Amino acid sequence: MIEFKNIKKSFGDKVVLDDVSHVMETGKANLIIGQSGSGKTVLQKCLVGLFEPNAGEIIYDGISFTDMGIEERKELRQQIGMLFQGSALFDSMTVEQNIMFPLDMFTTNSFPEKLKRVNEVLERVNLQEVNKKFPAQLSGGMKKRVGIARAVVLNPKYLFCDEPNSGLDPQTSMVIDHLILELTREFNMTTVINTHDMNSVMEMGENIIYLYEGKKEWAGNKKDIIFSKNKLLNDFIFASEFLQDAKDMRMLEAKGKISDDRDMDELLK
């Protein structure tokens, strides 16, 4: 669990985060959503220590990250996996070397032990026999899966994902969503995801915080969104007429007013 209380962050006179509090739950996909410039990326960077908040507290499983010294933070970061927006693979390294990099940095395991772990996580993300390939030889979806494999190779307690579906087609995006959710539950991680992908919100939004102009405007889950009366949230989530129609139909389904495909066809006319 990661809890943050009354987080404030400014750059000069620009207030980016203004008194933001929330709890990111263990074993769940915790989503941070909001328009560009809403503060979601800055919030995530504060949570991992890349930015220092001007005020507030960040707590990892009951221990104050805010009060930790440099060495304590180094130890904690060994329990954090990170999936970057562009995957951030080393172009000059093979897939095997990319995934082994954290093991080289933070363990004293022998090469056979590290290779065994690399192959385990490659199999888990359904990427066998790509060990010797370079990133340039992989598709966008494969790069993301290699990035996920590298992020979980140390069995982290916390996983941070920055726009994991950026640049991917809808079908591949769904594969990545399901994989992240499966790994979160399998390893009981606290997973924090920045996203603007509404498919991801509706697929895996178990715990969602919506930021608007640096403030926490709304919190809930993917079911709560359907019935939300928050205008700012609805304008963001259901920006298109198609999505608004989809929301209306899901509300009718929930109320038991759509009984079969024929009723659905009538609604769509």
pLDDT, mean of residues 163-180: 89
Q: Check whether residue 75 and residue 166 sit in a common domain.
A: yes
Range of the domain at 250: 238-269
Q: Check whether residue 71 and residue 173 sit in a common domain.
A: yes
Q: Check whether residue 75 and residue 190 sit in a common domain.
A: yes
Sequence-distant (≥ 6) Cβ neighbours of residue 170 within 8 angstroms: 199
Q: Check whether residue 121 and residue 207 sit in a common domain.
A: no
Determine, yes or no, domain membership for 242.
Answer: yes
| Percent of the chain whose pLDDT exceeds 90 | 70
Q: Check whether residue 41 and residue 149 sit in a common domain.
A: no
Q: Check whether residue 146 and residue 164 sit in a common domain.
A: no
Q: Check whether residue 3 and residue 71 sit in a common domain.
A: yes
Task: Decide: residue 206, CB within 10 A, 0-12 exposed, 13-18 middle, 19+ buried.
Answer: middle
Q: Which one, of 128, 226, 236, 141, lies nearest residue 180 by Cα?
A: 141
pLDDT, mean of residues 132-153: 94
Triad 143, 144, 148: Cα angle to 5°: 115
Q: Check whether residue 116 and residue 248 sit in a common domain.
A: no
CATH code where residue 23 lies: 3.40.50.300
The model's pTM? 0.85
Q: Which residue has the tokens 């697929």?
A: 203
Q: What's the confidence (pLDDT) of residue 117?
A: 96
Determine, yes or no, domain membership for 89.
Answer: no
pLDDT, mean of residues 15-22: 97
Q: Check whether residue 27 and residue 144 sit in a common domain.
A: no
pLDDT digits (tens, 9 = 90+) for 64-122: 999 999 999 989 999 999 998 878 899 999 999 999 999 999 999 999 999 999 999 99
Determine, yes or no, domain membership for 182.
Answer: yes
* pLDDT at 247 > cutoff 90: no
Total tally of structural domains belonging to the chain = 3
Determine, yes or no, domain membership for 210.
Answer: yes
Half-sphere exposure of 70 (CA within 13 A, CB side): 0
Q: Check whether residue 183 and residue 66 sit in a common domain.
A: yes
Intra-chain end-to-end CA distance of the chain, in Å: 46
Q: What is the chain's length? A: 269
Determine, yes or no, domain membership for 232.
Answer: no
Give 148's DSSP letter. H
